[in-house]
């Protein structure tokens, strides 16, 4: 028996939960902000465990750590996926995302792609959790197997 999750079941759960919350008026940004607070308590230990490093102190360091996260997590191609920053924007070029099944299901529910981009959600929550910045908004563009996520940060 596989120890891994069936991506379809996972996508089904995530899509229906997030989609129904969206219908109730809980938008993704609100969720990401709330989740950042929750992640704060667990992420420090997780970063150390997964990467063997301490939480970052600058945005550049944060981007490097975020990029390195793709190796153990395998949520996208770790060799092609890039995380960088420009001014107060984090830019993620995500290749071969593990959650692409969710994008297909999202379309069946009337969304352009995923009801909530998990990568943007995680990066936003992580950014808040390590106290690098507050998130203003995020934007996702999909082009075949590559998604570009732009996370706009509030100036501190």
The residues, ordered by sequence, that sit 6+ positions from 111 with a Cβ below 8 Å of its Cβ are: 19
Q: Please identify, using beta-carbon distances, which residue of 67 and 88 lies nearer to another protein.
A: 67
82 CB neighbour count, 10 Å cutoff: 13
Q: Please identify, using beta-carbon distances, which residue of 8 and 60 lies nearer to another protein.
A: 8
Q: Please identify, using beta-carbon distances, which residue of 41 and 143 lies nearer to another protein.
A: 41
Between CA 134 and CA 33 the distance in angstroms is 8
Tell me if 37 contacts another protein by CB under 8 A: yes
Radius of gyration of the chain (CA): 15
Tell me if 76 contacts another protein by CB under 8 A: yes
Cβ atoms of 127 and 68 within 8 Å: the answer is: no
Give the binding site for another protein (CB under 8 A).
1-10, 12-13, 15-17, 19-21, 23-24, 26, 30-31, 34-35, 37-39, 41-43, 45-46, 50, 72-77, 96-99, 101, 104-105, 108-109, 118, 121-122, 125
């Amino acid at each position: 028996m596989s120890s891994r999750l069936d991506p379809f079941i996972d996508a089904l759960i995530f899509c229906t939960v997030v989609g129904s919350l969206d219908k109730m008026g809980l938008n993704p940004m609100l969720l990401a902000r709330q989740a950042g607070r929750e992640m704060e308590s667990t992420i420090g230990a997780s970063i150390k465990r997964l990467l063997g490093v301490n939480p970052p102190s600058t945005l550049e360091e944060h981007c490097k750590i975020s990029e390195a996260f793709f190796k153990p997590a395998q949520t996208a191609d770790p060799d092609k996926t890039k995380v960088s920053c420009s001014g107060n924007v984090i830019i993620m070029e995500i290749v071969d995302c593990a959650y692409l099944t969710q994008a297909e299901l999202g379309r069946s529910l009337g969304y352009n792609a995923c009801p909530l981009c998990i990568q943007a959600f995680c990066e936003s929550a992580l950014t808040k959790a390590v106290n690098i910045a507050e998130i203003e908004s995020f934007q996702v563009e999909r082009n075949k197997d590559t998604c570009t996520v732009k996370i706009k940060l509030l100036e501190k």
